[in-house]
């Protein structure tokens, strides 16, 4: 769902108190400690701490758990996080080797433009100003997206697409014949939305407005008209809030659960996401069918989904084996068991 399934993570600006000069020197030595060398790159403790802080912020916001509890949970997985950062560094280096930077930057710029349009802002500078007011650092978000998109592009091109296009017509047809139950008509719902953005606004006021709009819609007000008059989606006047039709099983859990018991023409409670509030209306429901139908694309996708986890693990194992990785002895005991899991499985099989 283009507008619904893409929530944008905003990272709070970190504010550090001023410490005495001696303390600063000590802290600088700790922060700059090299945790691991990966080929020509290094992973420092400052990077690990920064990414752990971002993970804590994200999980606190998503889970609503106390910060102290989330911090303890993340700290317990520090070795796993460092291993993940090493794997990410390998993928970023591979991305540079493949020359994906141009595509990545284009996607990042387009994402910012999409948010700008959704928030009815006139320029990217205006968007950055609104983000700053909300405590978000556009440069930090850009860097986070750059890492994510580089990683995703490398895996898609080096692993996923090769699997998807590698199936022969005979294999595709054979899989369909053996798994017809997987390819029946799915249950779908058609949805309309009203989106209220938080950018540049008082959050409590936005939440209150959302409650009022839900009450109006449930009282019989025209949902399309409410969307045109209130939604922050740039295309609301043309779409009247209509988003499209979606497979229930593929719907983001954040929206699937609130919509589970909503009947046709019914309206959900306000759904809070990172960038604002969603109010959803069920325009139609289509029940699932029992009759199987052949769709080559869907069959290839099903075949590929089954193979991707193991194929990606194998690819990462190859990247690691071809790389120079040296882990600081202080961190090796917690990192190595998480980083070289697949290699140990191979060694175990060979020894039997």
What does the domain layout of the chain look like in residue ranges? Answer: 32-183+303-352, 185-286
The predicted model gives 241-253 an average pLDDT of 89
Structure confidence by residue, pLDDT tens digits, 182-220: 898 888 999 999 999 887 788 899 999 999 999 999 999
The predicted model gives 305-330 an average pLDDT of 95
Predicted TM-score (pTM) of this structure: 0.69
Q: 């910060």: which residue's tokens?
A: 67
CATH 1.10.4030.10 fits 32-183+303-352, yes or no: yes
What separation in angstroms does the CA of 29 have from each of 17, 195, 236?
18, 47, 53
Report domain 185-286's class.
alpha beta
Structure confidence by residue, pLDDT tens digits, 55-73: 898 888 888 889 999 999 9
- What residues are paired with 244 via a beta bridge? 191
CA distance 111 to 258: 27
Instruction: Choose among 80, 102, 83: nearest CA to 149.
Output: 102
How many Cβ atoms from other residues are within 10 Å of residue 149's Cβ?
19
Under 8 Å between Cβ of 278 and 241: no
Under 8 Å between Cβ of 279 and 209: no
Query: Which sign, positive or negative, has the C-alpha torsion 63, 69, 75, 76?
Result: negative
**More confident position, 104 or 200:** 104
Q: Which long-range contacts (C-beta less than 8 Å, at least 24 apart) are formed by 126-130?
A: 127/199, 130/199, 130/200
CA distance 188 to 285: 6
Among the residues of the chain, which ranges form H helices? Answer: 21-31, 45-63, 67-76, 78-98, 101-118, 124-133, 138-155, 161-166, 169-178, 203-218, 223-230, 236-239, 253-259, 296-321, 332-339, 341-351
């Amino acid at each position: 769902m283009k507008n619904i399934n893409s929530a944008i993570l905003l990272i709070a600006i970190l504010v550090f108190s001023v410490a005495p000069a001696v303390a600063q020197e000590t802290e600088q030595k700790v922060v700059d400690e090299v945790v691991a060398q990966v080929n020509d790159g290094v992973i420092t403790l400052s990077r690990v701490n920064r990414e752990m802080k971002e993970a804590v912020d994200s999980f606190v916001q998503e889970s609503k758990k106390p910060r102290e509890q989330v911090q303890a949970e993340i700290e317990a997985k520090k070795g796993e996080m460092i291993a993940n950062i090493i794997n990410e560094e390998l993928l970023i280096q591979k991305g540079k080797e493949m020359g994906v930077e141009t595509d990545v930057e284009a996607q990042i710029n387009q994402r910012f433009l999409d948010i700008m349009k959704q928030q009815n802002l006139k320029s990217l500078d205006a968007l950055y100003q609104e983000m700053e007011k909300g405590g978000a650092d556009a440069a930090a978000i850009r860097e986070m997206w750059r890492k994510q998109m580089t990683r995703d592009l490398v895996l898609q091109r080096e692993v996923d697409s090769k699997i998807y296009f590698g199936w022969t017509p005979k294999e595709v047809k054979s899989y369909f014949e053996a798994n017809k139950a997987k390819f029946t008509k799915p249950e779908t719902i058609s949805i309309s939305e009203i989106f209220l953005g938080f950018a540049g606004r008082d959050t409590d006021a936005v939440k209150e407005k959302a409650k009022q709009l839900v009450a109006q819609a449930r009282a019989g007000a025209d949902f399309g008209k409410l969307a045109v008059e209130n939604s922050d989606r740039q295309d609301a006047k043309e779409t009247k809030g209509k988003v499209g039709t979606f497979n229930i099983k593929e719907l983001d859990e954040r929206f699937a659960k609130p919509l589970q018991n909503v009947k046709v023409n019914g309206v959900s409670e306000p759904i809070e996401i990172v960038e604002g509030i969603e109010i959803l209306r069920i325009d139609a429901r289509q029940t699932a069918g029992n009759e199987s139908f052949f769709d080559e694309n869907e069959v290839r996708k099903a075949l590929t989904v089954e193979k991707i986890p193991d194929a990606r693990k194998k690819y990462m194992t190859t990247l690691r084996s071809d790389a120079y990785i040296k882990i600081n002895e202080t961190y090796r005991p917690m990192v190595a068991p998480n980083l070289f899991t697949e290699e140990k499985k191979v060694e175990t099989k060979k020894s039997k």
